[in-house]
Chain A
Amino acid sequence: MKFNRSVRIVAALVVATSLLAVAASASSAAPTKTKKVTIKVVSLIPGSTNAAFAQWNTRAKQFMKANPNIKVLGVPYQWLGNTFAPMLAAKTLPYVFTVPFTDARTLGSHKELADITALAKKLPYFSKYNPPVIAEGKVGSKVYALPTAAYAQALHYNRALFTQAGLDPNKPPTTWAELQADAKQITDKTGKPGYVEMAASDNTGGWILTTDIYSLGGRVESGSGSKTKATLAGNSYITQALNLLHAMRWDDNSMGSNFNLSWGTINQAFAAGNVGMFISGSDVYTNMVQADSIDPAIYGIAPIPTASNKTAVVMGGGTLAAIAPYVTNAAQKAACMKWIDFFYEQPLVNKAQAIANAKTLVANKQPVGVPTFPVFNKKQFDLANSWIKPYFNVPRDQMAPFLTGIFKQKLAPEPGVATQDVYHSLDAVVQAVLTDKNADFAGLLNTAQKAAQTAINNS
């Protein structure tokens, strides 16, 4: 087969041009093509409904659409005091996870969280965080976690049981004496426990007892830093709180017969209509919808009764998002921060994102408008709430006692040093009072004091 010279020249030119074109396209594509990054992030509490997971998946898809080079894998997760450390040690926690206010600073100082200072400071709203709130995620000038939500401890009550017991569901108790009387009335009239308190050995027993102590005016620690002292032994406020529980348990018999409830199981019991009142964070309604299918009609929330003295306060808390220390790849770390920004922070600062988030929540029958507290300042908090107000689908009228009352209360942060260990030392105290009529308060508090002080010294 023979070609004349002109054909061969044309053919050669075509081939050469094609090669050049391919080479040019390859070289022009090279700088823009970046490697796809996969990140594992925490999603929802295990056992959440399919609708809740559908809502989460929608948000993840929105993120991946906006960031085509990032792939997000959701891992169900619940922070638990007795499983978090082993999971972190075993590197089985996802790259992005949440921790309570109580732990982030200790974990950061131990280098058990990734240092995200540089990435965090690039966020346009970084300087607008409420200073005491962002302080929960900082060690010195270094940032290890970003606040995502804040709450105040609150009294959750079953409006249906209130009505059955002849109480006004719009007038929840405002003093501990009223709470005790209402609890007794609920038990007497309905046979259900009027007031239930978490008392499990996973630090939740101590957490709620500390909330009670704060509301009466007491504290469980004094001083700060290396001079911190546990103040459990001989503390009259703690004795007062224990006497109150003892009276409800043994004199009124209004606390039921299950004294092993924890954060999740007390939510279940309440959603099932088996609890008159209990204390937990103001935002637990979300979990009761996501995991326990609560009937919204029964739900009521009010501020915790506080004593009239000057030191009586409502204890607050919150959640921070952090990146695992084993995420060392810069691209992955940056992708993790983008996720934290998108998923947790943007709905608090960006109108379009706040509305988009609220719309997906409503579409999947997830709660919008659950009482929380300002992560930024109060002005920003009110502004963000005004954006999503049209999408509120929780019974805000039934939450009125809390929403109108809480900003009149004084809020205080949780104990600052070895917090979870101090709670753990109090677990046994609250259990003893609820399971032993003749419990020796002084002896119990002396034992707890030693354990708490040892933990404080070691931390």
Chain B
Amino acid sequence: MDTANPTASDMSAGSLGATEPGRARVHYHRRRTPVTWVRSGGLTTLLFALPLLLIFGAFSWYPMVRSVFLSMEMTPNLVTYTWVGLDNFRYVIHDPLLPIAVKNTAYFAFLALIFGYPIPLVAAVLMSEVRRHRGFYSALAYIPVVVPPVVSVLLWKEFYDGSVTGVFNTILGWVHMGPYAWLSSQQMAMPALVVESTWANAGGTVIIYLAALIGVNSELYEAASVDGASLWRKVWHITMPQLRGVMLVTLILQIIGTAQVFLEPYLFTQGGPNNKTLTVMLLIYQYAFGSSVGSGFGYATALSLMLAAFLALFSLIYLRATRSWSSE
């Protein structure tokens, strides 16, 4: 393989010079000037990369850099910006709403892990066992993902309507239960959000698991069948170990996703009742836009950076801790 496809080190001036004196490639490195770069198609490459660079620069990198500066500025209105150092971070750390938001976010992540993590896995395993209409079931699982998230939430808002005419309350009314307050209940609001979120997002994870299941060697199952293994033992001893890598990725993606949950609490409850569904992202939003006279971008970016730092650290520790496991 090495001889057929020389590596970069094989193409160094010394080695080529020694074997093929006089050829243009001998002085390849010395002649790599702007002119040669242009002649070798550098401009075309740049031209193709330019839209990407511009879009990322304008909409991704610039806002990130700007938010670092903004986190150290006071923005009492949308016109003046005053440098305040780390005051915004101090304000956010001492805000009594921060521990509430962190606790709620952790609670959402925990509930999502309990409900939302195993359901796609179980669904995918069951669907992979189904021999007929597998496409139909896949589509059925994926449809909620296709529905625009805002539409999903508005739909579920009708389901959760706390009055006797709400969809769930009407159904429960048939068996003489309720009406329940759902989103207006301090105990039920967060689980209600998690249930909708699981319904809306499970489909994507199901597809990932289904794709991974296709990669599992069917001979393993056949061998297990010959040995008389039950379905459960096949799932536990073959499917799960084979999916471990994918499961790790989906777990970390889910934790990062749930740590940034915003849409559901914003659209369903706006953080209520009594801040029981106030999440970190919603608190960031409230800092930035909660006041109708416009202030608090500094606080919002400060908390955003703190969240980003935490998630980066979490990802790093998690990846290091599980490196050996995932590479087994």
Chain A residues, CB < 8 A from B76: 110, 458-459
| B292–A103 touching, CB < 8 Å | yes
Q: Is the CB of B293 within 8 A of A459?
A: yes
Most buried by A among B161, B162, B293: B293
B78 touching A110, Cβ below 8 Å? yes
| Interface pair A260/B293, CB less than 8 Å apart | no
> Is there an interface contact between A110 and B274, defined as CB atoms closer than 8 Å?
no
Q: Check A428 against B274 for contact (C-beta < 8 Å).
A: yes
User: Which 6 pairs across A and B sit closest by C-beta, in order of nearness?
Assistant: A110-B77, A85-B294, A201-B270, A258-B162, A259-B184, A432-B274
Q: How far is the CA of A85 from the CA of B292 in the complex (A)?
A: 5
Q: List 19 A–B pairs whose Cβ atoms lie within 8 Å, in order of A's numbering.
A: A82-B270, A85-B292, A88-B78, A102-B292, A107-B293, A110-B77, A112-B79, A199-B184, A201-B269, A205-B272, A258-B161, A424-B291, A428-B275, A431-B274, A435-B184, A435-B274, A444-B274, A450-B96, A458-B295
A55 beta carbon closer than 8 Å to chain B: no
> How many residue pairs between the two chains, A and B, have CB atoms under 8 Å in the bound complex?
124
A274 proximal to B (CB < 8 A): yes
Residues of A within 8 A of B305 (CB): none
Interface residues of A (CB under 8 A from B): 79, 81-86, 88-89, 102-103, 106-107, 110-112, 191, 193, 199-203, 205, 256-260, 269, 274, 420-421, 424, 427-429, 431-432, 434-436, 439, 444, 447, 450-451, 455, 458-459
Most A-side CB within 10 Å, residue of B161, B180, B184:
B184
Instruction: Kindly state whether residue B198 has any CB partner on chain A within 8 Å.
Output: no
Q: How far is the CA of A455 from the CA of B292 in the complex (A)?
A: 12
Q: Check B165 for interface membership: any CB of A closer than 8 A.
A: yes
Whether A86 and B293, one on each chain, are in contact in the complex, defined by CB atoms closer than 8 angstroms, is no
CB-defined contacts of A205 to chain B, threshold 8 Å? 272
Which chain B residues lie closer than 8 Å to A421 at the CB level? 291
Question: Cβ of A81 and Cβ of B183 under 8 Å apart?
Answer: no
Min CB–CB distance B263 → chain A (angstroms)? 15
B327 to chain A, nearest CB (A): 45
Which residues of chain B (65-90) have a CB below 8 Å from chain A?
76-79
Tell which of B184, B269, B272 has the most Cβ of chain A within 10 Å. Answer: B272
A110: nearest chain-B partner, CB-CB: B77
Give B residues with C-beta under 8 Å from A. Answer: 76-79, 96-97, 161-165, 169, 179-181, 183-186, 269-275, 286, 288-295
> Secondary structure at chain B's binding surface: helix, strand, loop or mixed?
loop
With A110-B76, A110-B78 as given contacts, are A103 and B293 in contact (CB-CB < 8 Å)?
yes
Query: Are A260 and B273 in contact, CB atoms less than 8 angstroms apart?
Result: yes
Q: Which residues of B contact A86 (CB under 8 A)?
A: 288-289, 294
Contact: A258 with B291, CB < 8 Å?
no
Point out the residue from B163, B290, B294 that lies within 8 Å of A110, measured CB to CB.
B294
Interface SS of A by simple majority? helix
B273 near A257: Cβ-Cβ < 8 Å: no
What residue in chain B is nearest A80 (Cβ atoms)?
B292
**Contact between A435 and B186 (Cβ–Cβ < 8 Å)?**
yes
Partner of B184, one of A112, A260, A439: A260
Residues of A within 8 A of B269 (CB): 201, 260
Interface pair B186/A436, CB less than 8 Å apart: yes
A55 to chain B, nearest CB (A): 28
Residue of A nearest to B293 (CB): A106
Taken together as a complex, chains A and B put the C-alpha atoms of A458 and B181 apart, in Å, by 36
User: Given A85-B292, A432-B273, A257–B162 Cβ distance below 8 Å?
Assistant: yes
Complex Cα distance, B274 from A427, in Å, reads 8
Bound form: Cα–Cα A269–B164 in Å: 12
Q: In the complex, A84 Cα to B293 Cα: how many Å?
A: 8
Q: Is the CB of B78 within 8 A of A112?
A: yes
**A45 CB to closest chain B CB, in angstroms?**
17
Contacts of A102 in B (CB 8 A): 292
Check if A89 sits within 8 Å of B291, measured CB to CB: no
Closest Cβ of chain A: how far from B87's Cβ, in Å? 12
Verify B294–A112 contact, CB threshold 8 A: yes
- Chain B residues with Cβ under 8 A from A111's Cβ? 77, 79
CA distance A269 to B161 in the complex (A): 11
Q: A353 to nearest B CB, angstroms?
A: 31
Q: Which of A81, A82, A85, A420 has the most CB of B within 10 A?
A: A85
* Cα(A428)–Cα(B100), bound, Å: 13
Q: Is the CB of A256 within 8 A of B162?
A: yes
CA distance A214 to B295 in the complex (A): 28
Contacts of A444 in B (CB 8 A): 274
Apart from A82-B289, A85-B291, A257-B163, 16 more pairs, CB < 8 Å: A88-B294, A110-B77, A256-B163, A257-B181, A258-B162, A258-B184, A259-B181, A420-B291, A424-B291, A432-B186, A434-B273, A435-B185, A435-B274, A436-B274, A458-B76, A458-B295
Chain B residues near A107 (CB, 8 Å)? 293-294
What residues on A are CB-neighbors of B184 within 8 Å? Answer: 199, 257-260, 434-435
With contacts A110-B79, A428-B275, A436-B186 taken as known, whether A257 is within 8 angstroms of B180 at the C-beta atoms is: yes
- Alpha-carbon distance A345/B97, docked complex (angstroms): 43
- Please name all residues of chain B whose beta carbon is closer than 8 Å to the beta carbon of A274 when the two chains form the complex: 163, 165
Q: B70 CB to closest chain A CB, in angstroms?
A: 13
CA distance A205 to B288 in the complex (A): 20
B273 in contact with A199 (CB, 8 Å): yes
How far, in whole Å, are A200 and B162 apart by their CA atoms in the complex? 14
Residue of A nearest to B181 (CB): A257
Q: Considering the chains assembled together, what is the distance between the CA atoms of A420 and B164 in angstroms? A: 32
In the bound complex, do residue B292 and residue A82 qualify as a contact, i.e. CB atoms below 8 Å apart? yes
Which residue of B78, B183, B294 is within 8 Å of A260 (Cβ)?
B183
CA distance A237 to B269 in the complex (A): 28
Contacts of A202 on B, CB cut-off 8 Å? 270
Q: B295 to chain A: which residues have CB within 8 Å?
A: 85, 458
B residues in contact with A85, CB < 8 Å: 78, 289, 291-295
**Which listed residue, B185, B288, B292, touches A420 by the CB 8 Å rule?**
B292
Contacting residues, chain A, for B164 (C-beta < 8 A): 191, 257
For the complex, give the distance between the alpha carbons of A301 and B154 in Å: 31
Q: In the complex, how many angstroms separate the beta carbon of B188 from the nearest chain A beta carbon?
A: 10
Min C-beta distance of B291 to chain A, whole Å: 6
Task: Report if A112-B271 is in contact (Cβ < 8 Å); known contacts: A103-B293, A435-B181.
Answer: no
- Cα-based distance from A451 to B79 in the complex (angstroms): 24
Are A424 and B162 in contact (CB-based, < 8 A)? no
Q: State in angstroms the CA–CA spacing of A201 and B271 once bound together.
A: 7
Please indicate which of the listed interface residues B77, B161, B162 has the most CB atoms of chain A within 10 Å of its own CB.
B77
User: CA–CA, A81 to B292, complex, Å?
Assistant: 5
Bound together, the chains give a CA A428 to CA B272 distance in angstroms of: 7
Whether the pair B294, A89 counts as a contact (CB closer than 8 A) is yes
B208 to chain A, nearest CB (A): 34
Please, how many angstroms separate the alpha-carbon atoms of A230 and B17 in the complex?
83
Inter-chain contacts of A429 with B (CB < 8 A): 274
The interface centre, meaning the residue of B161, B181, B292 with most chain A CB atoms within 10 A of its CB, is: B292
Chain B residues, Cβ within 8 Å of A79:
292
